Amino acid sequence: MKRPVARSSFASLVIFVNDINDHPPIFQEAVYRVDISEDIPKGSYIKGVSATDGDSGQNANLRYSLVSGNSLGWFAISENSGLVTSAAELDREIASQIVLNISAKDQGLQPKFSYTKLIVNITDVNDQVPTFTQSTYHISLVEHSPAGSELVVLSATDSDLGSNGTVRFSFDSETPVSVQNKFRLDAISGRLSTATELDREEESSYLLHIKATDAGTPPLYSICKVNITLKDVNDNSPVFYPVQYFANIKENEPSGSFVTSVTASDPDLGRNGTVKYAITAGDSYKFHINSNSGKITTLVPLDREEKTSYQLQVTATDGGGLRSHTQAIVTVTVVDMQDNPPVFSQKEYSFVMFENVAIDTIIGTVLATTVDLNTNITYLIASGDQRGLFAIKGRTGQITASGLIDREEQAFYQLRVIARGGEVTGEALVNITVKDLNDNAPHFIHNVEHVSAVENWATGHHIFQAKASDPDEGTNGMVVYNLKQNPKGLFHIHERHGLITLTGPLEVTTSSYQVEVVASDLGVPQRTSSLILTISVYDVNDNAPVFDQLSYEVTILESKPVNSRFFKVEASDKDSGLNGEIVYDIISGNTNYAFGIFPDGQLYIKADLDREVQDWYSLLVVAKDRAVEPLSASGQPPGTNVISLDASSPRGTGTKVEFFIVSVRSGGKAAGRLFTIGRYSGVIQTAAELDREQGSDLYVIDVYAIEADASQPRTQHAEVSNRCFVFFGWRGLSDFDGSCILCERKSKGTYSETCAEVIWGKECWI
């Protein structure tokens, strides 16, 4: 009996274990930290946060969001990648640290969350100008206050940090040095005080321009004005001029007859400068003085037989009670018909003199005579010379200089000269005209000036009006101008008017020019003075950004993680400031937003890459400057190199080859003369500016290379030639590139289709 045979069979059981959402996302770090500058542009990279989830499928599909801390709206986060970027301009002075609470949420039916913090420390840049608490200060000070008297403590704030926010005070160049020397300014505390006693009668007010400058690089500053008004004190007594008065009055003139008037002045203000007069000695019972005007009249008729002359002393007193230190002496002579007062040879004399003559130089002589015998005549200057610049010899009437006489201070004097013969007097006027010498150089208001100019100003544009004055007369005071220092000959000055204009284009790369202006008079000897003019050149946005190369090729692994930065494009802009600062953007070719770009040109992966889905991307990146009206990188200018062709002859390397463009086509049609080729170099260049949007995105250039043999006609050697089709179009990251399709000529009249592509920028061999 047969034993039973064991039988068996196998079956495969596939068990699918369905995931349940039992794992929360886990961030790689509990707290992320980053330091960024407050001046980064919008869209800049801040930080990438990342979380993992042990689940699968939707349970592990994470979404990121900013939960809190972004009330200012300065930041944004990519929902898919966790990349945090700047969404607005930052300001450290508003907030120096931002704590962002970030969540990661899976996509399960009952989603799980986890949280992390991103602490963003915003670092300072010098973007705050020091600000005075007041733009103008009005200060009053009593004159003759002691040196060191405090006027004000200036205050200016700067919200920047460290040296950027450290403020120092100084006098601005608008304040003349002569005025600065009268005050002290503490650079650190801002305390402004007097350096000397100030006299209101010399200067009643001062205007100071004070600068607050921070210690940043470059430093920023602001300017305030300080108006200082001096209050009057009664520090001046009345002063008579002249001090001696002489008057003749006929005897028996009725009461109230006019004798003479005395005058005293007081430079103080208000009642402190109001003068009252009184007769304080002499026959006051016979004379009266008007206390306000100083007019002296008689109280009674005068009798010559009783007294031939009277001498009165007059005192002046101001409203503050100060009396004149020197009193006026009034000599009144009573005359009758038999008296013969001295008579001058002229009622009015006129003399001319040069300024700056030596002391005791003779100016002129006056002469008076009398019919009375044995009468000696003496002369004196009664008025017209308050500063005592002239003297007269009492016996001879000779007038001389007794001080330095400057025509620019006073060019004409009228002296009243008295001739005294016994008790009676006569008078005459002496007119003295002071002639000019060339003793003054032309004078600029400021020895240093600053102006601003814009780089694109045309030839002839007005830059600055130089103005120098010369107080001398005639040719001594006529001023002509020239440029002693004229960098690159860029400036011209009108010889007579002093107008400075441009003779050529300014260069913004030269941030400033320094010009020395010389003002000369036409006197002998000629006198000159100089002005240093600094011309700061400011940029205009006249240059578009230019990429450092026309195309880029990058290879990356599909496994490279999201947020990885993989390449940086570079463009330059010849402009300066914001006009030369460049930001970048991807404007086309970014399928499914797989890539992103930061404002600095750094490209990064924004979404997972899959080579099997797409293995090639052609990104068009635009570079824009940050001007108010920005320029961007677009078409290249005429003369831009497209490609360099090279061809060799079977006859050897010594044979010259010529290149010719047969045709340029676009879309099957002739495209015109858009390109040129070097006859022997083989370099193809653009002949016009190309615009992809206005023209075409692809051009086909048909090029012949022919052996140049001068011994035989070129047509007989057509078989020693070849042909290259250059495809020129927009590819990759730049505006355009070129490709060369090589088609080898196998035999006369036929071409093979074995062609090789060469990327733009490499040589194309035929």
β-pair type (136-142, 221-231): parallel
Q: Could you say which of 2.160.20, 2.40.50, 2.60.40, 2.40.128 is the CATH number of the domain covering 641-765?
A: 2.60.40
User: Is residue 629 pLDDT above 90, yes or no?
Assistant: no
Least confident of 298-307, 569-578, 672-681, 741-750: 741-750
**For 190-219, what is the mean pLDDT?**
94
Cβ neighbours, 10 Å, residue 575: 23
Pick from 642, 634, 698: nearest CA to 675 = 642
Choose the most confident range, by mean pLDDT, from 485-494, 654-663, 706-715. 485-494
d(CA 215, CA 220): 8
d(CA 764, CA 759): 9
Q: Could you say which DSSP state residue 112 is in? A: -
Amino acid at 516: E
**For 216-238, what is the mean pLDDT?**
94
Chain centroid to CA 39: how far?
Answer: 22
> Do residues 266 and 236 touch, judged by C-beta distance below 8 A?
yes
Task: Domain ranges for the chain, please list them.
Answer: 26-123, 131-231, 239-335, 343-435, 443-538, 546-625, 641-765
User: Is residue 722 pLDDT above 90, yes or no?
Assistant: no
CATH T-level assignment (fold) for domain 131-231: Immunoglobulin-like (2.60.40)
Beta strands in 174-204 (DSSP E): 183-185, 191-194
Angle at 270 between CA 267 and CA 276, to 5 degrees: 75
Question: In CATH, what is the architecture of 443-538?
Answer: Sandwich (2.60)
d(CA 515, CA 484): 8
Residue 701: partners with Cβ closer than 8 Å, 6 or more residues away: 661, 663, 664, 675, 684, 725, 726, 727, 728
Residue 337: partners with Cβ closer than 8 Å, 6 or more residues away: none
> Do residues 626 and 600 touch, judged by C-beta distance below 8 A?
no
Q: How far is CA 629 from CA 509, 544, 622, 624, in A?
A: 21, 11, 15, 10
> Do residues 537 and 510 touch, judged by C-beta distance below 8 A?
yes
Whole-number average pLDDT of the chain: 85
Pick from 364, 367, 341: nearest CA to 420 = 341
Chain centroid to CA 481: how far?
Answer: 25
Domain pair 26-123 / 131-231, same fold: yes
> Do residues 323 and 237 touch, judged by C-beta distance below 8 A?
yes
User: Is residue 541 pLDDT above 60, yes or no?
Assistant: yes
- Is cis: bond before 218, omega within 30 of 0? yes
164 or 676: which leads in pLDDT: 164
The whole-number pLDDT of residue 554 equals 87
404-416 pLDDT, tens digit per residue, is 999 999 999 999 9
The whole-number pLDDT of residue 721 equals 36
Global pTM exceeds 0.85: no
> Cα-atom radius of gyration of the chain, to the nearest Å?
49
d(CA 550, CA 572): 13
The whole-number pLDDT of residue 713 equals 39
Token pair for 72: 């200012």
The whole-number pLDDT of residue 681 equals 77
User: Is residue 716 pLDDT above 50, yes or no?
Assistant: no
> Do residues 32 and 116 touch, judged by C-beta distance below 8 A?
yes
395-404 pLDDT, tens digit per residue, is 999 999 999 9
Pick from 46, 52, 22, 48: nearest CA to 34 = 46
The whole-number pLDDT of residue 717 equals 31
**CB pairs under 8 A, 24+ apart, for 743-750?**
745/721, 748/718, 748/719
Q: Residue 533: how many CA atoms within 13 Å on its side-chain side?
A: 32
403-458 pLDDT, tens digit per residue, is 999 999 999 999 999 999 877 889 999 999 999 999 999 999 888 899 999 888 99
267-321 pLDDT, tens digit per residue, is 999 999 999 999 999 988 999 999 999 999 999 999 888 898 999 999 999 999 9
**CATH number for the domain formed by residue range(s) 26-123:** 2.60.40.60
pLDDT band at 696 (very low <50, low <70, confident <90, very high): low
d(CA 266, CA 319): 10
pLDDT band at 694 (very low <50, low <70, confident <90, very high): low
Residue owning tokens 């002579």:
333
d(CA 679, CA 701): 15
> Do residues 116 and 49 touch, judged by C-beta distance below 8 A?
yes
Residue 409: partners with Cβ closer than 8 Å, 6 or more residues away: none
Cβ neighbours, 10 Å, residue 82: 24
Token pair for 460: 């002839």
**For 55-73, what is the mean pLDDT?**
92
β-pair type (683-686, 113-123): unpaired
User: Is residue 750 pLDDT above 60, yes or no?
Assistant: no
Token pair for 525: 């000897």
The whole-number pLDDT of residue 756 equals 31
% pLDDT > 70, the chain: 87
Q: Residue 691: how many CA atoms within 13 Å on its side-chain side?
A: 3
Domain 343-435 has CATH 2.60.40.60: yes
Pick from 297, 376, 304: nearest CA to 339 = 304
User: Is residue 740 pLDDT above 70, yes or no?
Assistant: no
Task: Give the CA-trace dihedral at 493, 497, 498, 502, to 10 degrees.
Answer: -40
β-pair type (295-298, 258-261): antiparallel
Class of domain 546-625: mainly beta
The whole-number pLDDT of residue 62 equals 92
Q: Which CATH superfamily is domain 239-335 in?
A: Cadherins (2.60.40.60)
Greatest C-alpha distance within the chain: 202
User: Is residue 759 pLDDT above 90, yes or no?
Assistant: no
Handedness of CA 540, 544, 549, 553 (dihedral sign): positive
d(CA 494, CA 485): 15
Residue 229: partners with Cβ closer than 8 Å, 6 or more residues away: 138, 139, 140, 141, 204, 205
d(CA 220, CA 214): 6
> Do residues 42 and 86 touch, judged by C-beta distance below 8 A?
yes
